[in-house]
C-alpha cells in the first residue's frame, strides 16, 4: 500500500485498532516526518521500527494500552535518548498492563531491572526478522545449495573462544562437519540480516550456543527467531539447542520464544557433560545426523529442566 508513495511525509492512522508498528519496516517511508497512531491498540513498540523511519521528527501514540514490562524496555530507552524525534506527551503515557502497574506511567518503568535479571526482550520484540523470513525470495532459496553447510552456529562473541577451542576441533576436525560461522563465513558487504538468512537456509541445521550473553544479544535473538521461523515453516528438525551454561528456568521466563522451544524440544547441556565430553559430542553428532522428521527423542536435557 505504501510503496507507491515513498515521499509521504504525514501519516495519521488514529483509531485504527492497529496493534503493532512492525508493518512500517517494509513500507519504505524514508521521508515520513509525522506519525500519529492515537487511540489504537498498541501495547508493545519495537524500537527497531524507527531505524526504518530516518526522517521521523514527530510521533504521537497517546491513548494506547501500553505494557509496562521489559517488552517495552527498548522503546522506553529510545524515547528518553533519541534526539531527533519528539514523542508527544510521552511522559503521560499510562500503563494498562500488567494489572499491578495499571495507572502508572510508562516512562517511570525501571528498565534497569530488565538488564539485571537477564530479561531484556529482544527475542519477541524483534519481529522484523519474521517478516524478512516470510518474504524471503523463494526462488533464491531453491537455487541455493541446501547442503552448502551442515550447520550454522549461532553464538555470542563472548563465547567465541569456546566455539573455536571446544566445538570446531571436534565437529569439523574429528567428525568432519562443515560449519558456518558468522565471523568466518559471512559475505563482506552484504547486509547482516541477509547474511543470517542465507546462513540459516543454506545450512541443514542451526546450532544455537545459548548462554547469558546470548540471551542479551540483539543479533543472537534475530538468529534464533529466523531459525525458529524455519523450524515452524518447514516442520523439519533443523534446530539444535546447546546450553553452554546452567540457566535457571525463571531466567528464561521473559524469553517466550526460548522457553517455548525448551519446553517442546530436547536440548544439550555442556555443564552436564563435564565428566563425559565424548558422550556430549556423540550426542551432537547424532543431532546433526537426524533427518527431516519432527521428533528428536534421542536427545534429552538434564532431568527436571
The answer to whether residue 256 scores a pLDDT higher than 50 is: no
Q: What does the pLDDT look like over 59-111, one tens digit per residue?
A: 999 999 998 988 788 899 899 999 999 999 999 999 998 888 899 999 999 88
Least confident of 50-64, 67-81, 194-208, 230-244: 230-244
Q: Are residues 142 and 100 in the same domain?
A: no
Structural domain including 69 reads 10-116
CB distance 24 to 52 below 8 Å: yes
DSSP 93: P
Q: Are residues 77 and 134 in the same domain?
A: no
Mean pLDDT (whole number) for 212-217: 80
Helix (H, G, I), strand (E, B) or coil at 32: coil
Q: How confident is the model at residue 187 (pLDDT cuts 50, 70, 90)?
A: confident
Chain-wide mean pLDDT for the chain? Answer: 80
pLDDT at 124: 42
Least confident of 55-64, 168-177, 213-222, 248-257: 248-257
Residue with cell 559475505: 187
The reply to whether 294 falls in a domain is: no
The reply to whether 300 falls in a domain is: no
CA distance 159 to 166: 11
Helix (H, G, I), strand (E, B) or coil at 218: helix
Q: Are residues 99 and 137 in the same domain?
A: no
Q: Are residues 27 and 94 in the same domain?
A: yes
Q: Are residues 225 and 99 in the same domain?
A: no
CB distance 62 to 39 below 8 Å: yes
CA distance 148 to 75: 38
Cα maximum dimension of the chain: 63
The reply to whether 304 falls in a domain is: no
Four-residue CA torsion sign, 7, 12, 17, 20: positive
**In 3D, which of 31, 64, 26 has the Cα closest to residue 45?**
64
Q: Are residues 222 and 274 in the same domain?
A: yes
Of the spans 13-17, 267-271, 295-299, which averages the highest pLDDT? 13-17
Counting Cβ atoms within 10 Å, is residue 106 exposed (0-12), middle (13-18) or buried (19+)?
buried
Q: How confident is the model at residue 296 (pLDDT cuts 50, 70, 90)?
A: very low
Provide, for the chain, the percentages of residues in helix, strand and coil under a 3-state DSSP scheme, each rounded to the nearest 5: 45, 15, 40
Q: What does the pLDDT look like over 122-156, one tens digit per residue?
A: 444 444 555 555 555 444 555 555 668 999 999 98
The number of folded domains in the chain is: 2
Q: Is the peptide bond before 98 cis (omega within 30 degrees of 0)?
A: yes
pLDDT at 1: 87
Q: What does the pLDDT look like over 19-48, one tens digit per residue?
A: 889 888 888 899 999 999 999 999 989 888
Q: What Å distances lie between residue 46 and 23, 26, 89, CA to CA?
A: 11, 14, 19
Name residues whose C-beta falls within 8 Å of residue 97's C-beta, 6 or more positions apart in sequence.
Answer: 43, 65, 66, 67, 68, 69
Q: Are residues 91 and 43 in the same domain?
A: yes
pLDDT at 84: 94
DSSP 215: H
Last residue of one domain, picked from the residues 116, 143, 162: 116
Helix (H, G, I), strand (E, B) or coil at 28: coil
Mean pLDDT (whole number) for 248-276: 65
**H-assigned helices in 66-186:** 73-81, 112-116, 122-125, 128-134, 138-143, 160-162, 168, 182-185
CATH at residue 94: 3.80.10.10
CB distance 270 to 243 below 8 Å: yes
Distance of CA 103 to the CA centre of its chain: 30
Amino acid at each position: 500500500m505504501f510503496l507507491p508513495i515513498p515521499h509521504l511525509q504525514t501519516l495519521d492512522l488514529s483509531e485504527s485498532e492497529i496493534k503493532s508498528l512492525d508493518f512500517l519496516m517494509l513500507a519504505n517511508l524514508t521521508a515520513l516526518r509525522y506519525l500519529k497512531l492515537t487511540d489504537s491498540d498498541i501495547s508493545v513498540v519495537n524500537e527497531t521500527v524507527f531505524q526504518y523511519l530516518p526522517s521521523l521528527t514527530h510521533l504521537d501514540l497517546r491513548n494506547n494500552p501500553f505494557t509496562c514490562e521489559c517488552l517495552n524496555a527498548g522503546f522506553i530507552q529510545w524515547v528518553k535518548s533519541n534526539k531527533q524525534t519528539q514523542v508527544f506527551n510521552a511522559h503521560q503515557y499510562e500503563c494498562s498492563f500488567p494489572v499491578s502497574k495499571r495507572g502508572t506511567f510508562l516512562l517511570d518503568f525501571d528498565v534497569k531491572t530488565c538488564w539485571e535479571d537477564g530479561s531484556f526482550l529482544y527475542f519477541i520484540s524483534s519481529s522484523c526478522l519474521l517478516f524478512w523470513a516470510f518474504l524471503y525470495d523463494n526462488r533464491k532459496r531453491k537455487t541455493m545449495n541446501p547442503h552448502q553447510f551442515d550447520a550454522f552456529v549461532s553464538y555470542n562473541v563472548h563465547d567465541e573462544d569456546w566455539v573455536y577451542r571446544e566445538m570446531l576441533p571436534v565437529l569439523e576436525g574429528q567428525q568432519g562437519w562443515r560449519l558456518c560461522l558468522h565471523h568466518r563465513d559471512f559475505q563482506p558487504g552484504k547486509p547482516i540480516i541477509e547474511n543470517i538468512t542465507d546462513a540459516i537456509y543454506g545450512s541443514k541445521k542451526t546450532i544455537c550456543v545459548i548462554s547469558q550473553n546470548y540471551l542479551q544479544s540483539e543479533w543472537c535473538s534475530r538468529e534464533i527467531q529466523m531459525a525458529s521461523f524455519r523450524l515452524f515453516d518447514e516442520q523439519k528438525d533443523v534446530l539444535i539447542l546447546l546450553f553452554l551454561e546452567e540457566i535457571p528456568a525463571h531466567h528464561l521466563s521473559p524469553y517466550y520464544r526460548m522457553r517455548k522451544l525448551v519446553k517442546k524440544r530436547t536440548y544439550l547441556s555442556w555443564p552436564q557433560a563435564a565428566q563425559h565430553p565424548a558422550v556430549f559430542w556423540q550426542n551432537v553428532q547424532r543431532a546433526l545426523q537426524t533427518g527431516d522428521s519432527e521428533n528428536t527423542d534421542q536427545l534429552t536435557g538434564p532431568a527436571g529442566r
